[in-house]
A and B are shown apart, each in its own frame.
Chain A
C-alpha cells in the first residue's frame, strides 16, 4: 500500500503535462515493427495518427518488449517521461498494464485484445476479426473448385477459433460440400513452418488457403502452386499478385486518432471497445480481379450488411460440433460467447486441440 501511495504521488508530480506541450503517446510492441504482420499494423496506425495531429502529438515506440518485468519497466519509464497515453499492443501485456495503471492513475492505458480492467484508467480495445473472416469464408466457399479450404492457425485461443468458425459457417452457407482442413502451428511467426503448412494443405486438396499467422510465407507458396490465398493483417498482394484474393486489413488508425483526441480534450474515459467494419477498424484489401464481379458485389454487400448492423456473422441456428444447439433460429451470439469461444461449430470435422 505504501508503495502504491508513493508511486501515486510520484506520478501525479511527473505525469501531468504542461499546457503548451504536445500530447505524448507511447506504444509498446511484442514484435519488431518490420514484421509485416501484427506489430506492423499497429505501427502503421501510429504513423497515420501522428500525421493527423502533426506537432500536437509526440509518439514514441519500444519494440520487441517481452511480457512481464520488461513490459512493466518500459511502461513505467514512459509514464515517468510524461507520456499521457500508452498503447500496449499485445494480448500478453494484460497483467502488466494493470499493475502499472494502478501506479499511474493519471496516465491513460490502452490495452489491445485483453480482458483485465482493474483500474479506471485502463481501456481495452479489440477488433471483430470474425466479421472479416465471414467475408473471406463466403468468397472462399464460392471460389473453391476442390471444395477444400486450408486454414493455418496459430494458437487455439478464442480470437482464432471464432475466426475459423465464422469462415466455415459462411463458406458452408454458399457451398454445402465445403470442407476445412486446419493446421495449428503453435506460433505466431515461423515463416518456414507456415510455408510447410501451406504446402501440406495444398497437397491435401485445398485450393484456397487462409491464415491466422503473421508471415507472408503461405501467400508465396500459394502463388507458386497456382492456388488462392487470403492475406493476414495487411494487404499482402505483392507477395502473390495472382493468388492473393483479399485480406482482412487491420486499421487501428481511426481508433488511435479518436482516443488520442479524447486525451487532448480531457474527455478520455476507460472503455471496452470491440470494433469491426462499422468503425473502420477492419477493412478488406482490394478484391483480386479474378473474383467474378457478381461475387465481388456479394462480398461488398456482406461487408455493408455487417457494418450496418443488419447482419451478425453468428446468427442462429448454429449447433456445437457435437450437434447440440448453441444458437436458436434468429438468435445472435452474445459477445461473451465469442470472446471466450473454445469450441468448433457443427460441420467442422477436425478436433479442437486441448
Chain B
C-alpha cells in the first residue's frame, strides 16, 4: 500500500516543527488579548523579528544572539503599537493593521542586503539516549532547542495566567478594566507589558522561520503566518495548552496533506486548506454558546479603549 511510505513518527516530528513559529506568535498574542488588547499587527511584528534576528545572527555568527535580536525587533514594533493605543488611545484594529503594513515594508528595506545569505546554523539539541527510543525518539526528541523552549513557554504562560498574582491582575485588567482600575491596578502599565511580550514572541516566531525553518531571508517570507497565529488564539479560546493543541493540529493538517500528496493520494488541496478556519469558527460557536458565560473565556474588555477618568 502506497500509504505505507508515511511514517507516523516523522509526521509527528514534522508537525511539531511546522507548528513552532505559529505557536510562538500565538502564545504572545494570547497574553496580549488576555489583557484586553487586540493587536492585529502580529504579521508585521513576526516579519520584523525574522529580519532583525537574521541580520543579527549573520553579523554576530550566533543564532542565539539572533533570537534575542528578533525578540527586540518584535518589541520595537510592539512598543510603537503600545504607544499609539495606550498613550494616544488610537483604535486597536486600525493601529494593528497599520503596524502590519509598516512592518512588511520596513523589514524589506532592512533586509535588502541580506537576500541570498546563509545564516549560522542552529544545532539540534543532543538528548542522548532519549533520541534512540523507538518512535518517540524520532517524533519528540529530535528537535532544535527552540521547539522545547516554546513548549516550556506555553507551560510558563499557563502557570502565569492561572496561578501567579501578576497573571491574575492581567486577567482582571482584560476582563473589566474599569473594575481593575478601581481596585488600584495600573491598567495601562499591564497592557503595555503584555503588548511588549506579544511583540517579543511574534519576533521569535519570525526568527524561527528565517533562522531555523527556512534558513534564509526573503521579503514577505512569513506569508501570512501571523494571521494564522491570530486565528489560533481564538481556536484556543484563550487557553495556552489549547493554543498548542491548535498549532499542532494546524501544523498536522499541513504536514498530513503534503504527505498524502507525496504518497500519490488525490486530495482537494484548496478545500482542505480551508478546513482549519472552518473548524476554528465551529469551535468559537461551541464555546460561545455554552450556558455559562465563564465557558467563553474571552476577555471582557477585548478591543475596548481604556482611559482612566480620575
CB within 8 Å for A193 and B219 given contacts A220-B214, A350-B264 = no
Are A200 and B262 within 8 A (Cβ)?
yes
Which residue in chain B gives the minimum CB-CB distance to A206? Answer: B262
Given A200-B14, A204-B6, A192–B214 Cβ distance below 8 Å?
yes
In Å, the complex CA distance between A35 and B115 comes to: 8
Q: Nearest Cβ distance between residue A352 and chain B, in whole angstroms?
A: 9
A351 CB within 8 Å of chain B: yes
B223 touches A186 (CB 8 A): no
> Of A35, A150, A195, which contacts B214 at CB under 8 A?
A195
Beyond A181-B263, A200-B255, A200-B259, is A35–B218 a contact (Cβ under 8 Å)? yes
- Report Cα–Cα, A205/B264, bound state, in Å: 13
B112 with A34: CB separation less than 8 A: yes
B266 contacts the other chain (CB 8 A): yes
Q: Chain A interface residue count: which class?
A: 35 or more
Contact among A191, A206, A353 for B209, CB-based, below 8 A: A191
* A196: chain B residues within 8 A (beta carbon): 14, 18, 254-255, 258
> Residues of A contacting B264 with CB < 8 Å?
181, 349-351
Whole-angstrom distance between the alpha carbons of A206 and B263 in the complex?
A: 11
A201 proximal to B (CB < 8 A): yes
Q: Is the CB of A217 within 8 A of B214?
A: yes
Q: How far is the CB of A304 from chain B (nearest CB, A)?
A: 30
Give the interface residue-count category, chain B: 35 or more
Cβ of B5 under 8 Å from chain A: yes
Q: Chain B residues with Cβ under 8 A from A192's Cβ?
A: 18, 21, 209, 213-214, 221, 223, 225
Most A C-beta atoms less than 10 A away, residue of B118, B209, B258, B264 = B258
Q: Check B266–A182 contact: CB distance below 8 A.
A: no
Determine which of A190, A220, A349 lies in contact with B216 in the assembled complex, contact meaning CB atoms within 8 Å: A220
Q: How far is the CA of A189 from the CA of B268 in the complex (A)?
A: 20
By beta carbon, the residue of chain A nearest B251 is A196
B284 within 8 A of A: no
> B164 near A: Cβ within 8 Å?
no
**CB proximity to A under 8 Å, residues B105-149:** 108, 111-112, 115-116, 118
**In the bound complex, how far is the Cα of B213 from the Cα of A346, in angstroms?**
36
Q: Are B258 and A351 in touch, CB under 8 angstroms?
A: no
Judge if B261 is at the interface, Cβ distance under 8 Å.
Answer: yes
Give the residues from 299 to 354 in chain A that come closer than 8 angstroms, CB to CB, to chain B.
349-351, 353
Q: Does B283 contact A (CB under 8 A)?
A: no
Please tell me if A74 contacts chain B, counting CB pairs below 8 Å.
Answer: no
Interface presence of A199 (CB below 8 A): yes
B115 contacts A36, C-beta separation under 8 Å: yes
| Nearest B residue (CB) for A186 | B269
Q: How far is the CB of A339 from chain B (nearest CB, A)?
A: 24
Enumerate chain B residues within 8 angstroms of A349, measured Cβ to Cβ: 264
B10 within 8 A of A: yes
Binary interface encoding of chain A residues 205-228 relative to chain B, with 1 for a CB under 8 A from any of its CBs, else 0? 110000000011100100000000
For B62, the chain A residues whose CB sits under 8 A away are none
Q: Which of B209, B220, B255 has the most CB of A within 10 A?
A: B220
B7 at the interface (CB under 8 A from A): yes
Closest chain A CB from B132 CB (angstroms) = 19
Q: What are the 4 closest A-B residue pairs judged by CB atoms, nearest first?
A: A191-B214, A351-B266, A200-B258, A34-B115
**24 pairs of residues in contact across A and B, judged by CB atoms under 8 Å:** A34-B111, A181-B262, A183-B262, A189-B218, A189-B220, A189-B223, A190-B223, A191-B216, A191-B223, A192-B209, A192-B221, A193-B254, A195-B213, A196-B14, A203-B14, A204-B6, A215-B214, A216-B216, A217-B216, A220-B216, A239-B118, A239-B216, A350-B261, A350-B264
Residues of A at the B interface (CB closer than 8 Å) are 32, 34-36, 150, 181-184, 186-187, 189-193, 195-197, 199-201, 203-206, 215-217, 220, 238-239, 349-351, 353
Contact surface of B with A, Cβ cutoff 8 Å: 5-7, 10, 14, 18, 21, 108, 111-112, 115-116, 118, 209, 213-216, 218-221, 223, 225, 254-255, 258-259, 261-264, 266, 268-270, 273
